[in-house]
Amino acid sequence: MKLGVFAVLFSSKPLEEALDYIQEQGLETVEIGTGGYVGNAHCQPAELLSDENKLKEFKEVFQTRNLEISALSCHGNPLHPNQNIAIEHHQVFQDTVRLAAKLGVDTVVTFSGCPGESNFSLNPVWITCPWPSDFSEVVNWQWEEKVIPYWQEQNEFLKEHGVRVAIEPHPGFVVYNTETALRLRKECGDQIGTNFDPSHYFWQGMDPVASIKALGNESALFHFHAKDTRIDQQNNALNGVLDTKSYSDIANRSWIFRTVGYGHSEETWRDIISTLQTIGYEGAISIEHEDGLMGIEEGFTKAVSFLQDKIIKDKIADMWWA
């Protein structure tokens, strides 16, 4: 495994300056945003695909710093009921896949998307319970009419380009937990796996270690984000984890995102890293920062320091009894 960072943290810096800073911190990989909700400050796929010289220069920026691109990320909603948004996010996704193939990057990260409740919807509709029965009917319609057909088609597109997609399970989208991630892969194809972010599992009450093992058993864990969540025990006891208050309302929320080690213990994170090693994961541990109590550079450097001695780069050694 290699320690890296999701470089959208440094979108305010020019790419070269951001990469110099990342290299100085001793990191080996970078995840680059290409559009969608995460923006494309450092990489515009359509521009690079249309200009071989710019594409060559882009590659060299990483090569001269001995930095590997772990993934291109275009988190979006290609199933959005607003067709202008859906078309834009779909185009960015496909351009990102084409660019990944040209760069020799094997993984693109995005969301599964979420449709509306019918063909007449204006906004996505995420269902969180099965009753009244209307809710169950909506979930079935979403999967059968929108989700499965779209991702079956994208699975073939990915196969043609030799690229895989790491869907990030995230509440608000149809893939938000282990079960839905594995369903999408089973229904739509093996080019589809997950980008595993423990922070989304923590606040939903799931066990990241158990989920990593389940995904590993299906060879479905393609990429990993390092981000933590802190549960506010008092607010959670009163309101539960389904919390729509602003992320900036830290004092009143049931949970907030934190830098790794500030939501859960060192032991928890050692277990997570060890489980990744156990399932044979050899990819990036890509630091992501959404901590409202720390500035970007503070949160980033603390995450680097916390994770550096926990990542075991060598494979499990052969034992004398094996």
pLDDT digits (tens, 9 = 90+) for 172-225: 999 999 999 999 999 999 999 999 999 999 999 999 999 999 999 999 999 999
pLDDT digits 0-9 by tens, 279-314: 999 999 999 999 999 999 999 999 999 999 888 654
User: CB–CB of 28/315 below 8 Å?
Assistant: no
CA angle 171, 200, 40 (to 5 degrees): 80
Q: Residues of 12-24 as b/e, b for ≥16 C-beta within 10 angstroms?
A: ebebeebbebbbe
**So where are the chain's domains?**
2-228+261-308
pTM metric for this prediction: 0.96
Q: Are 74 and 109 in contact (CB under 8 A)?
A: yes
Q: Return the bridge partners of 30, or none.
A: 5, 69
Name the band, by pLDDT with cuts 50, 70 and 90, for residue 118.
Answer: very high
Torsion angle of alpha carbons 168, 173, 179, 185, nearest 10°? -60
Backbone angle region of 251, left / alpha / beta, with phi > 0 → left and psi within -120 to 50 → alpha: alpha
Q: Where are the alpha helices (DSSP H) in the chain?
A: 15-24, 45-49, 52-63, 83-103, 133-141, 148-161, 178-188, 198-202, 208-217, 233-239, 266-278, 296-308
Give dist(CA 162, CA 156) in Å, integer: 10
HSE (CB half, 13 Å, CA atoms) of 142?
25
pLDDT at position 312:
61
Q: Spell out the CATH class of 2-228+261-308.
A: alpha beta
What is the pLDDT at residue 82? Answer: 98
Q: Kindly compute the dihedral angle of the four CA atoms of residues 271, 30, 295, 39, in this order, to the nearest 10 degrees.
A: -120
